[in-house]
Amino acid sequence: MKKIEVVAAIIIYQNKILCLQRKESKLAYISKKYEFPGGKIEIGESKEDAIKREIMEELEMEIYIDQEFFTVEHQYPDFHITMHSYLCSVRNPNLILTEHIDFKWLDKANLIGLDWADADMPIVMKLKTL
């Protein structure tokens, strides 16, 4: 079974959290699902450097890492994912989608209404308690 280690940014601006919708995929269990932005950690790269790089690549946005939040272990049908999430802030909320089809800035109370990727759900549930 393939194992993937990734980072995810919980980007907060004026008490709203950035939620991104994935493109259509042949993998039905992640196709068009919402997620927190991020991606794979490259060899020799720190988690913090990976998350800043990924957000710049995916959103053309500069983030500031405030603190590590939560690590999720999740088994999908085709792979196992370890996802390290970080609470992040931005000074400028403008973004350019390069890999996703939609985005929303939502209050934490409204996060549960989206169709999230399964690995992201534990983060959504923990955010509700903040």
Give the closest residue to 21 by CA, choosing from 96, 104, 128: 104
Beta bridge partners of 4: 81
pTM: 0.96
- The domain segmentation of the chain, as residue ranges, is 2-127
Q: Give me 77's structure tokens.
A: 């049908």
Local structure of 19: helix, strand or coil: strand
Summarised one tens digit per residue, pLDDT across range 13-56 is 999 999 999 999 998 999 999 999 999 999 999 999 999 999 99
Q: What CATH code is assigned to 2-127? A: 3.90.79.10
Beta bridge partners of 5: 82
